[in-house]
Structures are given as C-alpha cells and as structure tokens.
A and B are shown apart, each in its own frame.
Chain A
Amino acid sequence: MGPVFTIYKREVFQLLHSFIAYLLVALFISIASYFFLSLTASFSIMSQQWNENPGIQNLNFNLTEMVLTHLYSNVAVLVIFFVPVITMRSFSEEKKQGTLELLLTLPVRDWEVVVGKYLSMMTLFFFMAFPLFLYPILIQMVGGYFEWGTVLTGFLGVMLLGASFMAIGIFCSSLTENQIVAAVVAFSIMMFLWVIGWIEGLNQSSWLSWTGHLSALNHYRSLVKGVLEVKDVIYYSLLTLFFLMATIMRLEMRVLSK
C-alpha cells in the first residue's frame, strides 16, 4: 500500500471524525440547494408570465441557461468562501502540533504527503459539489429539460475550479501555522484571480488583456455556458499544478516555527 493512499486514508478518517467537515458539507449543499430552488422558482414564474404575454418574443427562455448557468455562477462564489476553510488546517495544524516533523521523517517523499492530503480534500469537495449534478436529474424527473452537455461541462467547471482553489488553499496552509492567516491569504488569492478579469475591457489597447487570461472567472464562464475548450481545462490544470508544486517546494524548505 503506497504512502499516498495511507495519508489519504488518514486524512479522510480525520474528516469523518470532524464536526466541521459535516457542517461544511451540509452548509454548502443547503446554500447551493437554496440557489437552485429560488432560481427554478423565479424561472417558473417568468415562464408563466411569458405564457400569458406571448408578445414578449425576443426573450429566450431556456431552463439550462437561466437556472444552471446562474446556479453555477453563484456556486463559484460559494467555493471561494468554503475552500479556504477546508484547506486551512491541512499543513498549518501539522506545523503547530509538530506532527509535520514526524510525517516528513517517515520513509515517504514530500510530494506523497501533499498529494495524499490534496486528494482527501478533493474527495470532500466532490461530495459537496455532487448534488449539483442531481438537480438537473430531479428537474428531468418532473418533466423539465436540460441540455446535458451544459450540465456536464458546468459540473466539470465546478470541479476544476475547486481543484485549483484547493491547491491554492493547501499552499497557503503550508505557509503558516496560523490557520486563520492561511484562510485569509487563500481567500485573497482566490478573490484576486476571480476579479482580475474585470479590468480587461477598461482599456481599448490590449495591454490589459493578460488579466482576462489570468482570470479564473473568464475560464469558468465558458465552461458553465456549455463550451468545452481545451484552454480552459489547461488553465485550471496549470493553476492546480503550480500551487501543488509550490506547496512541495515550501515543505522542502523545512521552515518551522522554531
């Protein structure tokens, strides 16, 4: 049994024994469900109005676009708030308790520790995000219709966003033994990546266009609209890889509190 799996198992074990993890999953799912229900409700009201006033022609009432796209956009903001709370413990707590020294002197490599922890958190994230996949099925069952391509790319978008932001969170946790500091720094980086694209269009010349490429929001947007493009997948993969590597390098520096 490889060390990655051993660490993964221990981390999952820890999550299963932690009240916070259950609370986070429950909260995330509740809020996401609330988004979904309210969006569906407003959609049904609007479609009713539309049926009563067929004069309004140019409106395109599309369940997928109006409910799912909005839902995924809101969920992304939720991810920015939840991920730092999930990841803040990962290395900060080990540093604080001194167990990092125990862990890193066992016959394992630093990257195995990072990957084991990362995968455990992605498992948690998967369970948080999975209900997003269930809503369309539910609607389908009561007779609604979704474009399944968009459902899939949207879900992929949420997972990719989660994967890259998880890596950012873990990296921040490896910086300090203070969990709160780790969470705040992670939140700031995620927020920065989210809003950086807003200034893309401010200038006619192209010198701000890099902000659009850097923006996590821009890459997310197209996925959520049902457009699967390689560049978006590559963007999130690189972001994930970059921060996981940074975490490994940080661990290799062996910076301790003392």
Chain B
Amino acid sequence: MSEINQPLSILEVNHIKKTFGTFDAVTDLTFKLHPQETLGLLGPNGAGKTTTLRMLAGFLPPTQGEIFVNGFSLVGHPILSRKQIGYLPENVPLYLDMTVKEFLIFIANMKRLHKQKRKEELDRVLNFLSLESVESHLIGKLSKGFKQRVGLAQAILGKPKLILLDEPTSGLDPEQTVEMRQLIKKLNKDSSVILSTHLLSEVEKVADRVLIMNQGTILASGKPSELTDRLKVKRYYRLGVKGNDEKVMVLLKSITGVESVLKLKSLEEYNFYRIVSNPKAEILSQVLEKLVHDHIEIREMVEEESKLEDVFLALVRNQEKASTHI
C-alpha cells in the first residue's frame, strides 16, 4: 500500500484512540473526509471533540491508530501533512501583542509561503474576512468577533486542504455567530472542513455530514437530514382545522400512536395544533379519516422536520442506558 497515492479522501482516520493515563478520551474513531465536504463533529462537553481535533491537527499523537492527510501520514510526514492543515484551536489562542497583519505575516512565514504568494494570500484572507479595517490594530484590543475572524484567517492562510475549527462560534453574540457561519460555509470552495460544536442547530446549518460523539465514540453519522430521518425519535405534525376545539382534542388523543397534542394558536376560525407521535405509528391516515368522518374541515396537515436536538438527546440517553446495564 503506497502512502502517497492520489487520495480519494482528504482525511483518513483509521481506528484512532487517545488515552490520558487510564482514561480513554477517544476510543476507536474511524472516518473519511471527502474533498469539499464540511463535517460537523457534534457532542456534549467532554465528548472528546477537542481531543479528536488535536489529534487530527497533529498536536496530540494518537495512542493507537493512524491519520492520513491528503495521503500523508501525520506521524510519518509531520511537516508535509501539517502543511495541508489549517487549525483553529478551541478558545482562539492568538498573540495578543501583535497587530493583525504582523501576526498573519508570522503565520504565513511559519507556513513557509513564498514571498509573492504570501502577499497574495494575505490580501485574499484580509479581504475574505473583512479584516482590512483592523489590519494594523493590536489583536489584544480587538473585539471577540474580530479575534475569532483573525483566528479563522490564520487557519485558512495558504489555502490548506483541510481546515479544522474547534467550536468556532462559541462566545460570539447572535449576529457574529451568523456572520461566522456564513464565512464557514464558504470555506468548502477550496477546502474540506471539520468543525466541532455542541450546538445542533449549527451543524444543521453548515455541515454536509455529521458525526455525533459521546464519551469518545461515534454514536451516529450521516447527513443532518438523513440522521433525523433514520434516528427520528418522535414525529411532529402540524395540523390546522376549522371548528370545535375540545372535540378535536379528544379525537386526536384517541388515535393510537399519538403521544401528545398541543394547541399552538387560533387564527380566524382555524385552530392549529402540534401532534407528537410515536415514530413507528403511521397516524396520518388515521387522523385524516377521523376528521373527515366527523366533518371537520382541514386546513393543513404537515409533518415537521424533527430537530437534531431530539435525535441527539435520544442517542445520548440510549448510550447511557446501555452503559448502566453493564
């Protein structure tokens, strides 16, 4: 097996494991990352997201297993493989005593960009992250949002094939978070991206694929939409009908598979409800049948996308259950 074959994947992670003392922070992780793919690493505090990214960035050597970046082994070719990686560590560490430009030149030199390319890249990155207005400001004096952008700037400098971002939106206000996500979405033009987060909504918004982690292992993986589909815990429907509120409530609750009914609002003569059902029960036809039978006029009935939050909670709960059984 040649190490330098043209890879189909930007990143190949083979059964990596990280043990601190006797504690397994990451146990047996295997996955691949395709060109231009954005992967979300999702998990609660202590899941092992940072530890994983630190291994992928070449900071922590895995206790076991191998990592190949664009075909190069992180251990065998540390410099070559790291040249393909841009990494934004958790909490955005920066040299606060440098100006934005001085810092980025330092990083460009460390990444060994050639002088001509360096200038080009510097301009591109400053422009991409709208940092021109603060390029001669001290990093220590910048707002949190700008610091985060400087952190992202150093990561993407030199157009690395693989960009690793550890909780890139943590600590930002809602507006800055939205801006940051928009920037991250644009990164996959030149690179593959892995970002970690404990916000499920974030993954839904920016990732093509998600790995859900807990206690150092992958609980589930897939497209955010697939995952909600496959592992759906509950189904949610929104129903709008005309007429008698109490009668409808009773009727809906009598259907097998319906777990709860919540009245959302009344609009003109219509009432709107949220129905939560067991995922295995097909309640749609039953609901329609009964409503028609009782001559209740239906305005709408739609299945709402279930939230990744629920999937996630269920997965974590299942895992915890499993571990307490042992």
Residues from chain A with a CB closer than 8 A to the CB of B94 are 97, 99, 102
Chain A residues with Cβ below 8 Å from B96 are: 97
Residues 92-118 of A contacting B (Cβ, < 8 Å): 97-109
Are A254's CB and B59's CB within 8 A?
yes
Do residues A14 and B110 form an inter-chain contact, with CB atoms below 8 A? no
The size class of the interface chain B forms with chain A is: 20 to 34
Q: In the complex, A10 Cα to B97 Cα: how many Å?
A: 11
One digit per residue, 1 when the CB lies within 8 angstroms of any chain B CB and 0 when it does not, for chain A 105-139 equals 11111000000000000000000000000000000
Contact of B87 among A1, A3, A105 (CB under 8 A): A105
- Least Cβ–Cβ distance between A232 and chain B, in angstroms: 37
Instruction: Tell me the nearest residue of chain B to A6, going by C-beta.
Output: B109
Chain A residues, Cβ within 8 Å of B95: 10, 97, 99
Docked-complex contact A98 and B107, CB < 8 angstroms? no
**Cβ-based interface call for A231 (8 A):** no
Please report the C-alpha to C-alpha distance between residue A120 and residue B226 in the assembled complex, in whole angstroms: 55
- Chain B residues positioned under 8 Å from A10 (CB to CB): 95, 98, 106
Stretch in B75-83, B188-196, B294-302, B306-314 with 4+ CB within 8 Å of A: B75-83
The residues of A that contact B78 with a CB separation of less than 8 Å are 107, 109
Task: Give Cα distance in the complex from A28 to B57, angstroms.
Answer: 42
CB-CB nearest in chain A for B89: A101
Binary contact track A35-70/B, C-beta < 8 Å → 1, others 0: 000000000000000000000000000000000000
Chain A residues with CB under 8 A of B154: 102
User: Is there contact, CB below 8 Å, between A101 and B93?
Assistant: yes
For the complex, what is the distance from the CA of A10 to the CA of B94, rounded to whole Å?
13
For B89, list chain A residues within 8 Å (CB).
Answer: 98, 101-102, 105
When the two chains form their complex, are residues B79 and A101 in contact, meaning their CB atoms are under 8 A apart? no
Per the 8 Å Cβ criterion, residues 66-103 of B in contact with A are 78-80, 82-83, 85, 87, 89-91, 93-98, 102
The answer to whether A6 touches B106 (Cβ under 8 A) is yes
Contact in complex: A106, B91 (CB < 8 Å): no
The complex places the Cα of A254 from the Cα of B80 at a distance, in Å, of: 20
Partner of B93 from A99, A106, A109, A254 at Cβ < 8 Å:
A99
CB of B54 within 8 Å of the partner chain: yes
The answer to whether B82 and A3 have CB atoms under 8 Å apart is no
Chain A proximity of B45: nearest CB distance (Å): 12
Other-chain residue from B54, B61, B111, B112 in contact with A101 (beta carbon distance below 8 A): B54
Q: Which residues of B contact A18 (CB under 8 A)?
A: 97
Q: Taking A10-B95, A98-B90, A102-B154 as given, write out 8 further A-B residue pairs in contact, using a Cβ cutoff of 8 Å, ordered by the A residue number.
A: A13-B98, A97-B96, A98-B91, A101-B89, A101-B93, A107-B83, A107-B110, A108-B110
Q: Provide 19 A-B residue pairs closer than 8 Å at the C-beta atoms, listed in order of the A residue.
A: A1-B112, A6-B109, A10-B98, A14-B97, A97-B94, A97-B95, A98-B90, A98-B91, A101-B54, A101-B59, A102-B93, A103-B110, A104-B59, A105-B87, A105-B89, A106-B111, A107-B110, A107-B112, A254-B59
Interface residue ranges, B against A (CB under 8 Å): 54, 57-61, 78-80, 82-83, 85, 87, 89-91, 93-98, 102, 106-107, 109-112, 154
The list of the 7 closest CB pairs from A to B, nearest first, reads A98-B93, A107-B82, A6-B109, A106-B110, A99-B93, A105-B57, A107-B83
